[in-house]
Amino acid sequence: MKTTDLLTVGAVSERSGFAPSALRFYERVGLLKATRTAGGQRRYERSVLRRLAFIRAARNIGLSLDEVTAALDSLPQGRAPTRSDWARLSRGWRERLDEQIDALRSLRDGLDSCIGCGCLSLRRCAISNPADVAALDGPGAAFLPSPLRRRRSTP
C-alpha cells in the first residue's frame, strides 16, 4: 500500500465526524487499526471510513461496543468489507430497529395522551412514581419501553 493511500488522524476525523480521541479509543479497544510513521504518527487505511460509518450506525441503533466488536470481528481480514459483507451484518438489525420504532411510537402516543389529558393531578398518570417505586427496577428511565433503555457503554 502506498503512503498516499493512508489517512492522518485529522483527515479521518474530518471525513468521519469522529473526534480524534474517539479514533484513539476505538484503536485502543481493537475496533480500528492504524500503522505508524517513522515519527510515530498514526495512519489509517481509507477503508477505516467504512468501519467508522458502521460503528456510528450500530451505536445509533443502540448496539453496545461488545456487539459492534463481535460484528466487526466477523468481517474478513485482509481486505476492505464489500457491500454484501455490510448487508449481512445489517440484516440482523432489522428486528431490533422494528422493536425500537414500536417503542418510540408507544412513547410518543403515551406522551400525547398524558400531555393532552389536562388532569394536572398525577392521580391517573401512568408514569407517576409515588415513593420512588421505580428505583426497584434499577438505574435508568424505568418507564421507557425496554428497547429504548438498552445501556450503552462509552463512545
Closest C-alpha to 59, from 72, 47, 70, 68: 68
Measured CA distances, 97 to 58, 61, 126, 153 (Å): 11, 7, 25, 19
Per-residue pLDDT of the chain (155 residues; tens, 9 = 90+): 555 689 999 999 999 999 999 999 999 999 999 999 999 999 999 989 988 988 998 888 888 899 899 988 888 776 667 888 878 888 878 888 898 888 888 877 776 666 555 555 555 565 666 667 777 777 766 666 676 666 555 55
Integer Cα distance of 89 and 96 in angstroms: 13
Q: What is the largest CA-CA distance in the chain?
A: 69
Closest C-alpha to 54, from 74, 66, 72, 33: 72
The x, y and z cell numbers of residue 18, run together, are 469522529
DSSP secondary structure, 31-72, as one string? S---EE-TT--EEEETTHHHHHHHHHHHHHTT--HHHHHHHH
